[in-house]
Structure 1
């Protein structure tokens, strides 16, 4: 029995906590609803709707993250920067799932580790913003905070925070999750069916030969194992898959926080793996207060402005009993800042003996605008931040055990560079995001292959444990 299995049960419930205790703390990045009665009606309805995930799925994910902390798994977390209600379609959902499954295939084969697959969807409908309002041509309206709050169109009606959208968010999340489960149960992830795996992208990639050899090797290994077994191995037709989102709108999260039979404590059943964004990670704030009491595995994003003592206090508040599988730290520094800021934070956590999973978000710290004002990210900077993260953890005697990427299964042109060396001219061809730029399908697979290459190099100098 591993250390994570021996200690996976929490030691105690959070003291002086309830699902609503966050309301006594400063709450930032929250919608301003005009009608309190309308909001309350929506929350009552939301609280009576069925949960989107189950407590046993949440506990299973905690065990897998605990194993990732021990170096026995790798966390892959990816999906859209912000989902749209209009994107709740079978083609888009299956393409998102497909690219994450293919990336996990690359990682599993290259790292020789099982991969924890976590989709950044089925609930990623809210986004933090740098300002509460937006002004166009002398008209000022509330900013767009994601489809669960208001609409992207610039009009008073569209930009009004609407409590009914909380119900719509739950509905679209349920539809998405239901279709993902149906795909997986129906064999969408089955390695026996290569026709499900579109490989057209490889003809553009300098890694084409390497990827094709990998696919052929997996096929040979599968056939060999089934020859020994004397029958098809059914476990290759299904995978575990989990959902995550930034738990930003706290009224929504509170309404989906439940107690369940035969388990103690409270679970956020709107998602398996909620996280706290960098803008809402104040240790004395409402989001940290809410998160400290739920039994889900949780994550928190940390940026270059975080100080070592701040991080120590945050870790102690969110995981006071140092439980395995409980806390993931998602660092997002930027390629130019990671070497100056990450080592001190890693050493601070290490000095406390804190059990965490370190994961790198190389997207958000590398956002820039082109000369024409289009928001984008450079593939080269994303790759550089990931590679430097592996090197820093190796030098500190810790391990980078995950990657958090904004990506899509579509052929968008939102990030510069990659296999086709996209330029600023290409951005106009297929830029579809309303918020942040995403890696497209081929850039995502390429990134997975680069992670394997770098992690394999780092493994030769990284100790066995954190």
Structure 2
């Protein structure tokens, strides 16, 4: 009989690991990993368990997941203002979804760790020069020189300390009064307030304020009601850079279980979700809630094998499947996947990522997405689950609080000739605050219908 070795944070090292940097000095990598292993955890096991319980509610249709944030976080963008603006968008979208559909919204940010990105090709051409493809600031710089694109393990330490700073600010904002529901009007950014979406949001903010005043008028004491004055914003990122993730795994002192302490929620990408690969092996051993991106080439058998690998104990809230299929393909591809997973008996939270399969390059060379494609994929996602009798449990979006011009369309109709006005993303195009709020209103309507 074969002996099954117990899982350790380093178990992934015996398996193929895709999308990893070609470090020039392995000794330097080992030294950084040793230093990361001695630093305090970024998040705690009890927090991860609380998130899993909340996601379990969403599995059963009693909540909805809003997972949103930057495509790739930048080492140059760690100011309090930038983090506050990203938080504002999530709070605004959450308020619209909760008010419009009368359901709790689980708020998870792509934040405090989204410093790496998988890429299709190992090299890219910039200004006529072939360079290693930019893979995120935790690996190298985005500057277009061979030296800047050389992987540097010291950047993993910088990623850790930037995550610390971001988490400190998030906790201060979400527990210190900024996220208080009585401040719902202050979340409307100046450049959004005057837009149709901003004015529509103000109507909801007024209704929320009126409801709070009514509760106080009839004698309900709101002072001690935590859910009015504080919110939980959980952190997440793709568990791509395994040399960073491994040393931040900790054994929980109360349960003895292993937890990835780089974020509350980690996911495996479409390119690295092989059930026999290193990334799935890593996530299979940690007790955090985890996710997996699912593209249009996934087969029902592959997906069931992945579900069995990542959630063998069939725990609600443990596994989130994030479909990224592309507008026009959802109604064909998604139904057999939903049917197969349901028949397997593995509980999963179904979430729609309408961004990544709808990216294209304009004739001018800009990567972009059409707002209508994003919305169409979400609409078809809801339609398939409604027909299947399953719950469309969330959306996974790349958004920013800045007034960027990276995605086409929306209520104010960003045009292709406007993309260069404020195209600031490090990698993929993001919805700006107005487009994000517009999308939240559309999703709330779909939730009510579901």
Does the alignment reach a TM-score above 0.5? yes
Whole-angstrom CA distance in 1 between matches of 2:283 and 2:345: 21
Which residue matches 1:452? 444
2:41 counterpart of 1:55 = no
Whole-angstrom CA distance in 1 between matches of 2:325 and 2:187: 34
Q: Secondary structure at the match of 1:390?
A: helix
Q: Secondary structure at the match of 1:329?
A: strand
Deviation track 1:400-451 (CA, whole Å, cap 9, x = no partner) reads 0110000000000000001111101111111101200000001111111100
Q: Secondary structure at the match of 2:182?
A: coil
Which residue matches 1:272? 264
Whole-angstrom CA distance in 2 between matches of 1:209 and 1:169: 38
Structure-to-structure mapping, 1:55-454, within 5 angstroms: 55-136=45-126, 139-194=129-184, 196-198=186-188, 200=190, 201-205=192-196, 210-234=200-224, 235=226, 236-454=228-446
Normalising to structure 2: TM-score of the pair? 0.96
Deviation track 1:76-114 (CA, whole Å, cap 9, x = no partner) reads 000000000001111110000011011111111111111
How big is the shift at 1:135?
3.9
Range moving further from structure 2, 114-123 or 186-195: 186-195
How big is the shift at 1:366?
0.6
How big is the shift at 1:367?
0.5
Deviation track 1:259-286 (CA, whole Å, cap 9, x = no partner) reads 0211221000000000001010011110
Gaps of 5+ in 1: 1-13, 460-466
Q: Secondary structure at the match of 1:134?
A: strand
CA contact (8 A) 2:184 2:205 kept: no
| Structure 1 residues 260 and 84: alpha-carbon distance in aligned structure 2, compared to 1, 3 A threshold | same
Whole-angstrom CA distance in 2 between matches of 1:279 and 1:52: 26
CA contact (8 A) 2:91 2:187 kept: no
Between Structure 1 and Structure 2, how many residues are aligned?
444
Whole-angstrom CA distance in 1 between matches of 2:199 and 2:122: 49
Q: Secondary structure at the match of 1:325?
A: coil
Deviation track 1:340-367 (CA, whole Å, cap 9, x = no partner) reads 2111111110111220000000000110
| Structure 1 residues 198 and 297: alpha-carbon distance in aligned structure 2, compared to 1, 3 A threshold | same
CA contact (8 A) 1:259 1:265 kept: yes
Whole-angstrom CA distance in 2 between matches of 1:181 and 1:137: 42
2:35 to 38, 45, 54: 45
How big is the shift at 1:227?
2.2
Whole-angstrom CA distance in 2 between matches of 1:15 and 1:55: 24
Q: Secondary structure at the match of 2:208?
A: helix
Q: Secondary structure at the match of 1:75?
A: strand
CA contact (8 A) 2:96 2:440 kept: yes
Whole-angstrom CA distance in 2 between matches of 1:132 and 1:299: 25
How big is the shift at 1:393?
0.5
Deviation track 1:100-144 (CA, whole Å, cap 9, x = no partner) reads 011111111111111100000100000001112234466443221
How big is the shift at 1:157?
1.8
Q: Secondary structure at the match of 2:147?
A: helix
Q: Secondary structure at the match of 1:159?
A: coil
**RMSD in angstroms over aligned alpha carbons?**
1.5
Which residue matches 1:31? 21
CA contact (8 A) 2:361 2:367 kept: yes
Whole-angstrom CA distance in 1 between matches of 2:117 and 2:439: 25
CA contact (8 A) 1:226 1:233 kept: no
Q: Secondary structure at the match of 1:243?
A: strand
Runs of 4+ in 1 over 4 A off after TM superposition: 136-139, 207-210
Q: Secondary structure at the match of 2:8?
A: coil
Whole-angstrom CA distance in 2 between matches of 1:343 and 1:230: 46
Whole-angstrom CA distance in 1 between matches of 2:34 and 2:367: 39
Normalising to structure 1: TM-score of the pair? 0.93
